[in-house]
Amino acid sequence: MSSRKQQERQMLESIYSMIALVFILVTCMELCDAATVVDVYRLIQYDISGAQFGSRFATLNHHAGSLHLPPGVDLSRTVVIIPVRELNITLVKEFIAQRKPLGGLLFLLPQMLNFENRDPTSESKYQIHEKKLTKNVLVELERLLIHANIPYPVYFAFEDDEIDAVLADVKRNDASGQPATATTGSYKLVVSAPEPKRIASPAITNIQGWLPGLKADGDPNQLPTIAIVASYDTFGTAPALSVGSDSNGSGIVALLEIARLFSLLYSNPKTRGRYNLLFGLTSGGPYNYNGTHKWLRSFDQRLRESIDYAICLNSIGSWDNKLWIHVSKPPENAFIKQIFEGFSTVAEELGIEVSLKHKKINISNPRVAWEHEQFSKLRVTAATLTELSAPPELLEMTGGLSDSRHFVNEDAIVRSIKLVAESIARHVYGYQGKNIQIFADDTSLAVNAPYIRSWLDLLSQTPRVAPFLSKNDPFVMALKKELEDHTHEVNVQHEVLDGMFTIYDSTKAKLNIYQVASVTFDLLLLLVLGSYLIILFTFLVITTRGLDDLISLFRRPPSRKVKAA
């Protein structure tokens, strides 16, 4: 009898164990079906003089939603997925301006902007009008996001088949009027990221190289200097995607090619000019050209006074027929007049229109619109050559999402290089006003298009937000080495970014997309499994011990009083 009870007890224990296992499986089921994992890029988080901007959070754990949700739905626990192709900028402005509670925002970018998987044949897939439309939308979106304080996570990802399929399912659910909740079933978006931390004492690095001119025997005077300068770092909505192909990748490429061309001339004493050429690659460009400011103040007074003029190169890779020369001194100034006339003469020969634009600077105002203004504050004649007719606002047009390889015209960079190199060469060798082509095509001094293309490709795959570049970053070292190949006395200057700017880390993460079932489905599944186990248990007991044993399991045991009697 005791043996029989022991068997019954063992059977019940095994059944209870199975039921407990089912409960555990059902409880965990919600997080067991990962639909996909994608790379996501967080909206920048930064402060200016204590004022907060950008996305202030990184962790994400909410249900997915789309723009097809009915109005008035609570979105406080919903991540709204918005493809840039379908972007309703008015709605996004409303979300941000009214500070509507959201679980988060996920913007889907076209694959053509993905520099990590760039396919050279994909250029033809996108029509010119489509690219222009995408660029215009991104410019407006970035301007909105960069200057806002957003109290929830904002991420960017690239469209692909998997995430497109997820979005299609989400849209179908939302179109039915059923918002994603725990009771309806949906997709859940999860980003596990540490709390963003401020980057302490972010470094900025300036690189300079010289091509010394030929000094006449017995001449005690210091040779005059012409400076060619370009800022190499970027700032954008998503730091991990901020490659700045045009701003200022085009300026960097132009400076390196001009250094290469003049190194060929200066390597021969017979063709070495009587000007020193100073090449400067500066950092901190988006932050009031902070690196240029500190670089210039490291010069002694004699060196600054020797600079005949400086030409700063900024965004020269996506223009058609017109470039602008921005200056701080009035056009009537003899030095400005000489520079403009020299450039205008060469531009006319190349079929390029060049216009001069004057903007007076306020020496007491730390905000500068152009790099040449840092020179002007120290009374050094300087100008900026650019395709932009007006200065951008602070932290705008400095290498954002809209500034990718697809929007840069290599031919525009080649023509810009010819303009600058030829104008400087005629000034150095005294050929002003003469139709003499020093860097003529099909000669040993011709502009090297493959060299330009290779550097432009590298820059278009390299995010360059200064606070995320270490002092010995491979990209910084590559610039230094390239300048060493063409110039002499290459020096690297390390400085700390102006304290008014605070940048936070956590720029890239993995997004896990889970397909979760509704609570109703879980309960139904539990009911089915429970019924199955009861039937299985009943069948096993009847076939092994008989119906009477099954009934005895559910009989009420006799009371102690009956036993005592």
In this structure, which amino acid lies at residue 481?
Answer: K
Does a structural domain hold residue 155?
yes
**SS3 at position 273:** coil
CA distances for 362 relative to 285, 327, 369, 433, 494, angstroms? 19, 13, 11, 34, 27
Answer yes or no: is 221 within a domain.
yes
Quote the domain boundaries for residue 533. Answer: 519-565
What Å distances lie between residue 69 and 64, 102, 168, CA to CA? 11, 13, 13
- DSSP summary character for residue 556: P
| Residue 307 shares a structural domain with residue 420 | yes
- Cα–Cα distance for residue pair 34/444, rounded to 1 Å: 59
In a domain, 18, yes or no: no
Q: Would you tell me how many other CB atoms lie within 10 Å of the CB of residue 185?
A: 19
Contact 275, 226 (CB under 8 A): yes
Q: Are residues 369 and 394 in the same domain?
A: yes
Q: How far is 440 from 197, CA to CA, in rounded Å?
A: 52
- Alpha helix stretches (DSSP H) within 46-160: 89-97, 128-146
Are 326 and 291 contained in the same domain?
yes
d(CA 561, CA 556): 14
In a 3-state reduction of DSSP, which class is residue 442? Answer: coil
* Tens-binned pLDDT, residue by residue, of the chain (565 aa): 455 555 555 555 555 555 555 555 545 444 445 568 999 999 999 999 999 999 999 999 999 999 888 878 889 999 999 999 999 999 999 999 988 899 999 999 999 999 876 655 555 555 666 778 888 999 999 999 999 999 999 999 999 999 999 999 999 888 876 655 555 558 999 999 999 999 999 999 999 999 999 987 766 678 999 999 999 999 999 999 999 999 999 999 999 999 999 999 999 999 999 999 999 999 999 999 999 999 999 999 999 999 999 999 999 999 998 999 999 999 999 999 999 999 999 999 999 999 999 999 988 888 999 999 999 999 999 999 999 999 999 999 999 999 999 999 999 999 999 999 999 999 999 998 788 899 999 999 999 999 999 999 999 999 999 999 999 999 999 999 999 999 999 999 999 999 899 999 999 999 999 988 655 555 666 777 777 777 776 666 677 666 666 567 666 666 555 444 4
Q: Is residue 20 part of a domain?
A: no
Q: Where are the alpha helices (DSSP H) in 147-211?
A: 161-175
- My answer on whether 323 and 400 are in the same domain is yes
DSSP string across 381-417: -EEEEES-SSPPPTTSSSS-TT-SGGG--HHHHHHHH
Domain boundary among 463, 496, 529: 496
CATH number for the domain harbouring residue 278: 3.40.630.10
How many domains in the chain?
A: 3
Structure tokens, 546: 């008989």
DSSP string, 38-74: EEEEEPPEEEETTEEEEE----EEEEEE-TTSPTT--
Q: What is the pTM of this model?
A: 0.86
- In whole angstroms, how large is the CA radius of gyration of the chain? 34
Q: Collect all residues with Cβ–Cβ distance below 8 Å to 335 and sequence separation of at least 6.
A: 308, 309, 329, 381
Q: Give domain status of residue 24, yes or no.
A: no
* Claim to verify: residue 402 and residue 527 sit in the same structural domain: no
